Structure 1
Amino acid sequence: MTARFPASLGLVAGMLLFACACQSTSTRTGAIDAPAGVITWGSSADRVGDATADRGYRLVVHTSVAGQGARIRLSNAFGDRPVTFDSVYAGLRKKGAELVRGSNRRLTFDGARSVTVPAGETVLSDPLPGSLPAASDLAVSIHTPDAAGPVTGHWMAMQTSYAGSGDHTAEESGASWAETTGSWFYLDAVSVRASPGTGAVVALGDSITDGWQSTADMNRRWPDYLARRLQRADTGIKGVANEGIAGNKVVADGAGQSALNRLDRDVLSQPGVRTVFLFEGVNDIKAHTGVTAEDLIGGYQELVERAHAAGKCVVGATVGPFKGWSEWDQDAEAVRQEVNTFIRTSGEFDAVTDFDRILRSPYDPARMLPVFDGGDHIHPNDKGMQAMADAVDLKSLDCAGPGPGTEP
């Protein structure tokens, strides 16, 4: 949902969001390094095409937890050469590519206005003083003067962002941002310093978590609905990061690196993460590439072990029904049932959310309930996304540490 601000609030917004330059504390990160703070928005990284020189992007993202000193993370994880950003700004989005007057502020990196990110690495901006509100649309504007080679980003954003030639990052008007795009480029995380005791949950998943079949530009992915619940709840978990990739698998690369191969970068490196919410496996099951229930269970066990070793709780979610999808058959259904029995009863997870039980039809448990079906029999619509978020026990997201699983 678009955050809208009356013109009279422009000055206030400017005071709240990034009022001035600050002391340099930028930090380059490796696979698992992270700054102090809590992630308020995140998106999984992948290769999204080839770069164009003298290109600008105004990237619109929706925050979860409020906080101070916002920082952004720029990623060149899939680049094969360094990429330079010579101008980066952030401001509150008013509508379209237009920003709230007075809110757009320059970001720096170790005090410098430009930064070069080596191939395979990420970089964090210096924190910007002032408050970043919860549930607001943040527009991060970046310019790359001579970029070339593979671009790191997120293909299926389910959010309209903007692009153009030349450097218009400092402009609050949307006039120079005539091109639209449904992808995010280079930006993969925004974090804030939140109140003491505040943490975050990261949703690790595939296209269902990514939001396919939900309404674009309305923040109706199931993690978005979960974020809204958390904002109203008496819980220390307030941040939500969506690390879904359409087509992603647990044990094999393909549509992005597998969950096993991207866990460190997309999940464990994020600041303030207390819980990993694992909802993935349907693409492994339906691919018919020889992946067995034992293979998938082994992948889950490794993910849980590594997350626990990093001090994170892990909530496991059962794999939803997909009868009616072209790749469904009885053999795939048998694997799904075996995998779901493991998730429900093994005790490997700190808690379990039974998405299968929420989504399935009482008349044909292998098929999604029609009222939740986005039309392709595998991806829920907005109602299904909300039902999934509503099924999450919020207390399960704030567990004290590795412990026994729970049955639904």
Structure 2
Amino acid sequence: MTGRLGRACRAGVLLLAALALQPPPAAHPAGETAHALGVVTWAASAQRLGDAPAGRGYRLVVRTSVGGSGLRVRLSNAFGDRPLRVGAVYAGLRERGAAVRDNRRLAFHGRPSVTVPRGAAVWSDPLRGHVPAGTLLAVSLYTPDAAGEATGHAMALRTSYTSQGDHTADGSAAPWTATTDSWWYLDAVSVRPDRPATGAVATLGDSITDGRDSTFDRDLRWPDLLAGRLARTPLAGVADAGISGNRVLTGGDTSAPGRLDRDVLELPGVRTVILFEGVNDLKDGTGVTAAALFAGYREIVRRAHAAGMCVTGATVAPFQGWPEWSPAAEAVRREVNHRIRTGGDFDAVADFDRALRDPRHPERLRPAYDSGDHLHPGDLGMRALADAVDLGRLRCAR
């Protein structure tokens, strides 16, 4: 799967800051806990990507949120129908295009390769050294005999690179001759944060949270922009758990409740979930009621609370002008938003409806925030969403 050519990276972001990434001499200690994994600094929810090509290398470019040491990566075979062998994994700082600086091998229980069981995910051993916040990280991996269904994230909105054969150790751009706009197999990165008490926020949502219609290769999704606001707070890590088309009430193991464990609760260091879901349930014309949608919300809240996490509920944004809008769906949306604001089901509220709506026509997006399809915000709308989150209310007594 190929995408567009990568744009030049801002050199100032790629601070080396004595990175010195080196693999550890030993495997995971017995009984390792989530605390040992540190805090998630980047994540993208797992999806089915179709056929998995064999003999392919991937150089996947992601941006960290929180800085720290002991970088680890998580490889996912959540949707694979057979074990996945990954022959080599390297990580370094992306320089320009596919070029990488300080490219170092990752290990898995002290070994240079790993087999990820069907339906599972594995964490690497930590790398020594420091990774700055807001850095473009390049994770390179090679799948020598992949087959069947591949796991990854379809809409990365960032250029990554592919090669034929194993060129993971090569920091130059030369062998990485094709591009991809999806992330393959990699679904999370963690670090031990510079401030030990630092935690993370996970944003559970649909295509708006996934960043659709924000500018490609600029990391202007609202969770990215929120990460900038959170950078110097106790919740500096941000995990984007948005999937285009996601729903609360349908979708089975890929619905918001169905993927909650994998995409949110199992990520290290997450202390708060921002739940921004519901528009896809409403716009499908299936007659979803506010009561039904709230039953799904409450399941997510209950499970997050059981895991010791706070939950901020985000109101559903307006979408009149989208082909599937209807007066009936609008009435349910307003009822849902009233209950989010007043019902007391959430620990805090992010009023995304109020942030995005046109004051003259509250069933529509404000024109300056509309990407043009009347559902998805553009870059200015993404900024409005990030700014609508009250940072002081993201923590609760849990």
Partner letter of residue 43 of structure 1?
A: A
Q: Please give the alpha-carbon distance, in whole angstroms, between the structure 1 residues aligned to 2:335 and 2:303.
A: 23
Which residue number corresponds to residue 363 of structure 1? 360
Q: Please give the alpha-carbon distance, in whole angstroms, between the structure 1 residues aligned to 2:12 and 2:321.
A: 44
Which residue number corresponds to residue 395 of structure 2? 398
Q: Please give the alpha-carbon distance, in whole angstroms, between the structure 2 residues aligned to 1:210 and 1:367.
A: 21
Q: Could you tell me how far 1:23 is from its partner in structure 2?
A: 2.5
Q: Please give the alpha-carbon distance, in whole angstroms, between the structure 2 residues aligned to 1:244 and 1:360.
A: 21
Partner letter of residue 77 of structure 1?
A: A
CA RMSD of aligned residues (A): 1.9
- Alpha-carbon contact 1:27-1:123 (below 8 Å) kept: no
Partner letter of residue 71 of structure 1?
A: R
1:205 counterpart = 2:208:
no
Find the residue that maps to 1:226 and give its secondary structure.
Answer: helix
- 1:83-94 matches, within 5 Å, as 83-94=84-95
Cα distance change on mapping 1:6 and 1:382 into 2, 3 Å: closer
Q: Output one character per residue of 1:216-244: Cα deviation in whole Å (capped at 9) or x when no partner.
A: 1001000011001111x4x2110000000
Cα distance change on mapping 1:149 and 1:316 into 2, 3 Å: same
Partner letter of residue 73 of structure 1?
A: R
1:341 counterpart = 2:338:
yes
- Alpha-carbon contact 1:28-1:123 (below 8 Å) kept: no
Q: Could you tell me how far 1:175 is from its partner in structure 2?
A: 1.1
Find the residue that maps to 2:345 and give its secondary structure.
Answer: coil
Which residue number corresponds to residue 406 of structure 1? none
Q: Please give the alpha-carbon distance, in whole angstroms, between the structure 2 residues aligned to 1:35 and 1:325.
A: 46
- Alpha-carbon contact 2:23-2:125 (below 8 Å) kept: no
Give the one of 283, 298, 314 matched to 2:295.
298
Q: Output one character per residue of 1:258-299: Cα deviation in whole Å (capped at 9) or x when no partner.
A: 001000000000000000000011000001123221111100
Find the residue that maps to 1:335 and give its secondary structure.
Answer: helix
Give the one of 311, 315, 329 matched to 2:312.
315
- Alpha-carbon contact 2:58-2:142 (below 8 Å) kept: yes
Q: Could you tell me how far 1:60 is from its partner in structure 2?
A: 0.3
Which residue number corresponds to residue 405 of structure 1? none
Find the residue that maps to 1:39 and give its secondary structure.
Answer: strand
Which residue number corresponds to residue 19 of structure 1? 22
- 1:129-278 matches, within 5 Å, as 129-194=128-193, 195-231=195-231, 233=232, 235-253=233-251, 257-278=254-275
- Alpha-carbon contact 2:92-2:139 (below 8 Å) kept: yes
- 1:29-68 matches, within 5 Å, as 35-68=36-69
Partner letter of residue 359 of structure 1?
A: L
- Alpha-carbon contact 2:248-2:277 (below 8 Å) kept: yes
Corresponding pairs, count: 390
Q: TM-score, normalised by structure 2?
A: 0.94
Q: TM-score, normalised by structure 1?
A: 0.92
Cα distance change on mapping 1:196 and 1:334 into 2, 3 Å: same
Q: Could you tell me how far 1:33 is from its partner in structure 2?
A: 6.4
Q: Could you tell me how far 1:5 is from its partner in structure 2?
A: 5.7
Q: Could you tell me how far 1:398 is from its partner in structure 2?
A: 2.2
Find the residue that maps to 1:237 and give its secondary structure.
Answer: coil
Find the residue that maps to 2:394 and give its secondary structure.
Answer: helix
Q: Output one character per residue of 1:3-22: Cα deviation in whole Å (capped at 9) or x when no partner.
A: 52699x7xx55x41413444
- Alpha-carbon contact 1:22-1:128 (below 8 Å) kept: no
Find the residue that maps to 1:129 and give its secondary structure.
Answer: strand
Percent pairwise identity: 60
Find the residue that maps to 1:177 and give its secondary structure.
Answer: coil
Q: Could you tell me how far 1:337 is from its partner in structure 2?
A: 0.6
Q: Output one character per residue of 1:21-73: Cα deviation in whole Å (capped at 9) or x when no partner.
A: 442218999xx967531000000001111111111100000000001100000
Partner letter of residue 271 of structure 1?
A: P
Which residue number corresponds to residue 3 of structure 2? none
Q: Could you tell me how far 1:2 is from its partner in structure 2?
A: 3.3
- Alpha-carbon contact 2:13-2:134 (below 8 Å) kept: no
Cα distance change on mapping 1:33 and 1:148 into 2, 3 Å: farther
